[in-house]
């Protein structure tokens, strides 16, 4: 059941224990996938990205400097690639035209041929980005453009097909009111679709917008949020806003046109490590050190949709961008195809039907490993006088 | 009118009032022969007609009297019901249904999905390879540094001294205004495994920072109800140098497990049972009670205990990954009162 159902998982989460978890929000199941069958801390997932061919392959960057290929259709790891060079864990992983782009902590950015072979061939391209990199992000519109930034490592935009010099190198803001140099700590970068602009969030709780098209290399807009380092950021679909998360688990939606705070999202208790918005639906997936994956609804109304307890600390996540989240209609076909698994699927159907009957008066979703905010709210309402 | 005054006059005495009450409907009926309606009795005169509540009586003394009378009756009924139930139970003997369990907040605790299942492999692996693994694998033994916030007052200093007698292999150092971030690398180079900082406010200790040293988590607690040795009544003599046993009660959730392991890693592995000393960290409703006792078994089932050392209560405020860095560190768990304390039956440890 698990291998064929892996394709229907909505969210893929990488953990510190080396387990890749696939969460199906419709069926409310979380399943573990490991390369070696056992969790291993040396394989702690530090970066995740979609592989070639739509959303059928995931590239998992692990702490032992290997990039493993995971096939979502089969639900198995199908090969790995050792990417040596530099020190530290992967800070960015991207895939472009049959090549793999990796960037590590010490600032070595390498482009590898995507051979799927164990033998580590020499990289096609190597760039030294500068030490202390915190994030490398690929432009979704132009796969050969990447941006890097980190601690005392200003934002740089690189063209992998161009020269060895960055296309855009950001300049630090002016000295502050005490005439002291403002420190730099770019924690996350996002490319704005439809223009050349970039947005970064920093460890000094600033959100900055850069425009390479404008003559100034300094940020075009700067706002601050909170008092704690911002660790993750994602763009919201449609709106001119970003959602940032900090080390205290506070999520905020910030409008980057005006630079004001639109609203906050509650629920997280630990540092936010991964954030991603769905491209069309108003859903936000967040994961963090408190070992819980949360799906929030960003607007009308803003609130928590799903909460899944996954037992290890979560490092990064990938939200599937597909529009249809229901996968139930596929089930009957599977039953017909695999008669030997009839008893299992019959039991599954029986339990599903029983759950549906039980829940008809409530018109709520089925119970299971997940809790939904509505049910908790109802419980709370019933308990409190 | 005369009868009304009669009623008021007798309102002081309960027995008379009772007779008056029984007489009232009759008197009212008699008085109302010439009065308005026959069927409707005046509400105040009748005993307990429907739709009437004692709070509608405007006269305070009378109202109070009616209320006390009502209360006595309620108490009587309750006592009678209890007696009856007891009789029935005795009559049934073995076949009596089990006594109903009273509801307490601990009973009604909201189901917490993070409660650790002992058979869970993933959590077991996580714990086997976390920052305390070297302690639990017996590769390191604890060495604790106890210090305070800057310029501590008497209570805090004495608490530190007493804590150092409770925790073996611990050293108390005066803070001298040093920054924790500078103390920590020095501690690591001198092989300390844990750092305890007792924070003080207005001459009383009110906070505890417990940082596991090489790169381990830092827990920040609120400390309350601190009792030094001299303030504990009927205490035993000072604790000896024996390594105490540890009791960790009720740390059920994943967060509770992490904190429990943190406490366990403060003490050396092998307790010396000769010393008969035990340190208890009891978690109830997210408050952790620390007690230090000496026990003696009088027989197989009877134990005598003497409370020895200091006693305090802790409440977890935050658990930060990495050593102490409150501004730039990443937090694993932060207590947010407005989000987490909305239900009286939800606990996190």
Q: How far is CA B32 from CA B1, B22, B38, B40, B43, in A?
A: 12, 16, 7, 10, 13
Residues of B in contact with A271 (CB under 8 A): 321, 330-332
CA angle A160, A166, A172 (to 5 degrees): 145
Which of A231, A267, A383 shows the shortest C-beta gap to B339? A267
CB contact under 8 A, A248 and B331: yes
Report the Cα A52 to chain-centroid distance in Å.
17
CB contact under 8 A, A269 and B336: yes
List the one residue out of A73, A71, A149 whose CA is nearest residue A116: A71
Residue B255's H or E segment, with its range, is: helix B254-264
Residue range B14-21: mean pLDDT, rounded: 48
The CA distance from A193 to A306, in Å, is: 28
Half-sphere exposure of A136 (CA within 13 A, CB side): 37
Q: Which of A321-330, A376-385, B152-161, B199-208 has the lowest mean pLDDT?
A: A376-385
Q: Report how many helices (DSSP H) and strands (DSSP E) chain A contains, helices first.
A: 4, 29
Return the pLDDT at B36.
44
Strand partners, A297: A283, A303
In this predicted model, which residue has the larger pLDDT, A257 or A371?
A257
Residue range A328-337: mean pLDDT, rounded: 50
Nearest residue on chain A to B127, alpha-carbon basis:
A312
Q: Is the pLDDT of residue B206 over 90?
A: yes
Interface of B with A in 6-35 (CB under 8 A): none
Residues of A in contact with B129 (CB under 8 A): 17, 41
Residue with tokens 């763009």: A235
The CA distance from B301 to A354, in Å, is: 50
pLDDT tens for A36-61 read: 888 888 889 999 999 887 888 999 99
The answer to the question of residue A185 being in a domain is yes
Residues of A in contact with B336 (CB under 8 A): 249, 269
Which of B113, B330, B343 shows the shortest C-beta gap to A271? B330
Which of A39, A41, A247 shows the shortest C-beta gap to B329? A247
Return the pLDDT at A116.
59
Q: Which residues of B310-338 are buried (b: 16+ CB within 10 A; e: fewer)?
A: bbbbbebebbbbbbbbeeebbbbbbbbee
DSSP secondary-structure letter at B238? P
Contact B218, B195 (CB under 8 A): no
CB contact under 8 A, B332 and A267: no
The CA distance from A203 to A182, in Å, is: 12
Return the pLDDT at B92.
85
Neighbour tally for A318: CB within 10 Å = 24
Inform me whether the C-beta atom of residue B105 falls under 8 Å from chain A C-beta atoms: no
DSSP secondary-structure letter at A185? B
The CA distance from A139 to B252, in Å, is: 45
Report the Cα A10 to chain-centroid distance in Å.
12
The CA distance from A245 to A316, in Å, is: 13
**Which two structure tokens, joined as six digits, stand for A114?**
């995507």
Confidence band of B259 (pLDDT split at 50, 70, 90) = very high
* Interface size between A and B, measured as CB pairs under 8 A: 66
Q: How far is CA A215 from CA A10, A36, A196, A200, A218, in A?
A: 42, 51, 13, 19, 9
Residue with tokens 């008699």: B30
CB contact under 8 A, A19 and B122: yes
Distance, in angstroms, between A300 CA and closest chain B CA?
20
First-to-final CA distance of chain B: 69
The CA distance from B65 to B12, in Å, is: 9
In this predicted model, which residue has the larger pLDDT, A239 or B33?
A239
Inform me whether the C-beta atom of residue B90 falls under 8 Å from chain A C-beta atoms: no
Residue B28 has phi, psi (to 5 degrees) of -65, -40
Confidence band of B47 (pLDDT split at 50, 70, 90) = low
**Which two structure tokens, joined as six digits, stand for B232?**
């504990």
Domain interval for residue A206: 14-21+37-271
Confidence band of B7 (pLDDT split at 50, 70, 90) = very low
Inform me whether the C-beta atom of residue B136 falls under 8 Å from chain A C-beta atoms: no
Residues of B in contact with A380 (CB under 8 A): 342-343
Q: What is the 3-state secondary structure (H, E, C) of B42-93?
A: CCCCCCCCCCCCHHHCCCHHHHHHHHHHHHHHHHHHHHHHHHHHHHHHHHHH
The answer to the question of residue A333 being in a domain is no
Sheet holding A153-159, edge to edge: A133-138, A145-150, A153-159, A168-169
Residues of A in contact with B120 (CB under 8 A): 311
The CA distance from B322 to B215, in Å, is: 5
Residue B87 has phi, psi (to 5 degrees) of -60, -45
CB contact under 8 A, B342 and A266: no
Q: Is the pLDDT of residue A373 over 70?
A: no
- How long, in residues, is chain A? 385
pLDDT tens for A271-310 read: 999 999 999 999 999 999 999 999 999 988 899 999 999 9
The CA distance from B213 to B196, in Å, is: 10
The CA distance from B217 to A289, in Å, is: 12
CB contact under 8 A, A32 and B345: no
Residue B218's H or E segment, with its range, is: strand B218-227
- How long, in residues, is chain B? 349
pLDDT tens for B126-149 read: 999 999 999 999 999 999 999 999
CB contact under 8 A, B331 and A270: yes
In this predicted model, which residue has the larger pLDDT, B33 or B233?
B233
Residues of A in contact with B332 (CB under 8 A): 270-271, 289-290, 313
pLDDT tens for B50-94 read: 788 888 889 999 999 999 999 999 999 999 999 999 998 888 888
Return the pLDDT at A354.
56
Q: Is the pLDDT of residue B26 over 70?
A: no
Q: What is the DSSP string of A137-152?
A: EE-SS-TTEEEEEEBT
Q: Which of A81-95, A221-235, A332-346 has the lowest mean pLDDT?
A: A332-346
Contact A272, A286 (CB under 8 A): yes
pLDDT tens for A15-34 read: 999 999 999 988 888 999 98
The CA distance from A309 to A381, in Å, is: 23
Return the pLDDT at B39.
43
Return the pLDDT at A28.
85
Nearest residue on chain B to A273, alpha-carbon basis:
B330
First-to-final CA distance of chain A: 44
Query: How high does pLDDT run on average in chain B?
Result: 87
Confidence band of A343 (pLDDT split at 50, 70, 90) = low
Confidence band of A364 (pLDDT split at 50, 70, 90) = very low
The answer to the question of residue A324 being in a domain is no
Inform me whether the C-beta atom of residue B231 falls under 8 Å from chain A C-beta atoms: no
Inform me whether the C-beta atom of residue B107 falls under 8 Å from chain A C-beta atoms: no
Residue with tokens 């009110």: B206
Count of structural domains, chain A: 1
User: Exposed, middle or buried by CB within 10 Å (0-12, 13-18, 19+), for A26?
Assistant: middle
Distance, in angstroms, between B287 CA and closest chain A CA?
18
pLDDT tens for A169-211 read: 999 999 999 999 999 999 999 999 989 999 999 999 999 999 9
Residue A201 has phi, psi (to 5 degrees) of -120, 145
Confidence band of B48 (pLDDT split at 50, 70, 90) = low
Distance, in angstroms, between B327 CA and closest chain A CA?
6
Half-sphere exposure of A243 (CA within 13 A, CB side): 30
Confidence band of B271 (pLDDT split at 50, 70, 90) = very high
- CATH number of A84's domain: 2.130.10.10
**Which two structure tokens, joined as six digits, stand for B159?**
């608490």
Neighbour tally for A344: CB within 10 Å = 12
Q: Which residues of A143-177 are buried (b: 16+ CB within 10 A; e: fewer)?
A: bbbbbbbbbebbbbbbbbeeeeebebebeeeeeee
In this predicted model, which residue has the larger pLDDT, B174 or A353?
B174
Contact B323, B216 (CB under 8 A): yes
Residue B159 has phi, psi (to 5 degrees) of -60, -40
**Which two structure tokens, joined as six digits, stand for B183?**
């103390």
Q: Which residues of B293-307 are buried (b: 16+ CB within 10 A; e: fewer)?
A: bbeeeeeeeeeeebb
**Which two structure tokens, joined as six digits, stand for B7?**
């009623």
Q: How far is CA B344 from CA B2, B74, B340, in A?
A: 58, 30, 10
DSSP secondary-structure letter at A37? S
Domains and CATH numbers, chain B: 121-341 (3.40.50.10480)
Return the pLDDT at A352.
65
């Amino acid at each position: 059941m698990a291998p064929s159902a892996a394709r229907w998982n909505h969210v893929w989460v990488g953990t510190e224990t080396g387990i890749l978890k696939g969460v199906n929000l419709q069926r409310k199941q979380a399943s573990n996938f490991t390369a070696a069958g056992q969790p291993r801390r040396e394989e702690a997932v530090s970066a995740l990205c979609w592989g070639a061919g739509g959303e059928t392959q995931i590239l998992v960057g692990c702490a032992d400097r290997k990039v493993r290929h995971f096939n979502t259709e089969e639900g198995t790891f199908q090969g790995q690639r050792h990417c040596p060079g530099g020190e530290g864990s992967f800070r960015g992983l991207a895939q472009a035209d049959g090549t793999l782009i990796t960037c590590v902590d010490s600032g070595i950015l390498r482009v590898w041929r995507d051979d799927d072979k164990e033998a580590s061939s020499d990289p096609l391209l190597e760039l030294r980005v500068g030490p202390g990199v915190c994030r490398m992000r690929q432009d979704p519109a132009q796969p050969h453009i990447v941006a890097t930034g980190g601690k005392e490592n200003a934002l740089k935009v690189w063209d992998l097909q161009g020269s060895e010099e960055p296309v855009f190198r950001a300049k630090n803001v002016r000295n502050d009111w005490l005439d002291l140099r403002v420190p730099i700590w770019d924690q996350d970068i996002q490319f704005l679709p439809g223009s050349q602009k970039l947005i970064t969030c920093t460890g000094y709780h600033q959100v900055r917008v850069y425009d390479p098209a404008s003559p100034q290399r300094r940020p075009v807009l700067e706002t601050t949020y909170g008092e704690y380092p911002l660790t993750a950021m994602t763009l919201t679909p449609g709106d001119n806003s970003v959602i940032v998360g900090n080390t205290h688990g506070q999520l905020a939606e910030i409008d980057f046109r005006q630079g004001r705070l639109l609203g906050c999202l509650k629920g997280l208790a630990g540092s936010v490590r991964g954030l991603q918005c769905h491209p069309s639906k108003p859903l936000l997936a967040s994961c963090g050190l408190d070992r819980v994956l949360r799906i929030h609804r960003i607007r009308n109304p803003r609130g928590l949709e799903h909460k899944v307890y996954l037992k290890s600390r979560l490092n990064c996540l990938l939200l599937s961008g597909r529009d249809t989240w229901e996968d139930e209609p596929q089930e009957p076909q599977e039953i017909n195809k695999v008669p030997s698994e009839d008893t299992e699927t019959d039991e599954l159907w029986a339990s599903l039907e029983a759950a549906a009957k039980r829940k008809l008066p409530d018109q709520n979703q089925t119970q299971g490993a997940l809790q939904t905010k509505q049910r908790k709210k109802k419980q709370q309402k019933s308990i409190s006088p | 009118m005369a009868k009304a005054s009669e009623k008021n006059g007798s309102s002081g005495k309960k027995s008379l009032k009772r007779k008056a009450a029984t007489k009232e409907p009759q008197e009212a009926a008699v008085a109302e022969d010439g009065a308005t309606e026959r069927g409707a009795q005046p509400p105040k005169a009748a005993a307990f007609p429907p739709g009437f509540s004692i709070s509608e009586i405007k006269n305070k003394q009378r109202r109070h009297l009616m209320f006390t009378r009502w209360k006595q009756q309620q108490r009587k009924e309750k006592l009678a019901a209890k007696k009856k139930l007891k009789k029935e139970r005795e009559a049934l003997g073995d076949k009596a249904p089990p006594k109903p369990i009273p509801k307490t907040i601990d009973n009604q605790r909201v189901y917490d999905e993070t409660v650790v299942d002992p058979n869970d492999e993933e959590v077991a692996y996580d714990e086997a390879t976390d920052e305390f693994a070297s302690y639990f694998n017996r590769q390191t033994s604890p060495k604790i540094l106890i210090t305070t916030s800057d310029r501590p007052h008497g209570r805090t200093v004495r608490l530190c001294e007493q804590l150092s007698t409770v925790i073996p292999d611990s050293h108390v150092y005066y803070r001298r205004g040093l920054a924790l971030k500078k103390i920590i690398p020095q501690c690591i180079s001198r092989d300390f495994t844990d750092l305890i900082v007792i924070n003080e406010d207005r001459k009383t200790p009110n906070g505890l920072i417990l940082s596991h040293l090489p790169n381990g988590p830092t827990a920040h607690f609120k400390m309350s109800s601190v009792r030094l040795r001299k303030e504990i009544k009927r205490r035993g003599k000072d604790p000896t140098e024996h390594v105490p046993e540890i009791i960790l009660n009720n740390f059920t959730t994943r967060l509770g497990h992490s904190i429990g392991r943190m406490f366990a890693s403060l003490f050396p592995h092998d307790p010396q049972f000769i010393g008969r000393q035990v340190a208890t960290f009891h978690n109830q409703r997210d408050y952790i009670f620390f007690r230090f006792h000496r026990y003696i078994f009088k027989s197989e089932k009877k134990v005598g205990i003497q409370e020895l050392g200091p006693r305090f209560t802790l409440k977890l405020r935050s658990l930060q990954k990495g050593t102490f860095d409150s501004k730039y560190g990443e937090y694993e768990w932060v207590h947010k009162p407005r989000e987490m304390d909305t239900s009286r039956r939800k606990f996190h440890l």
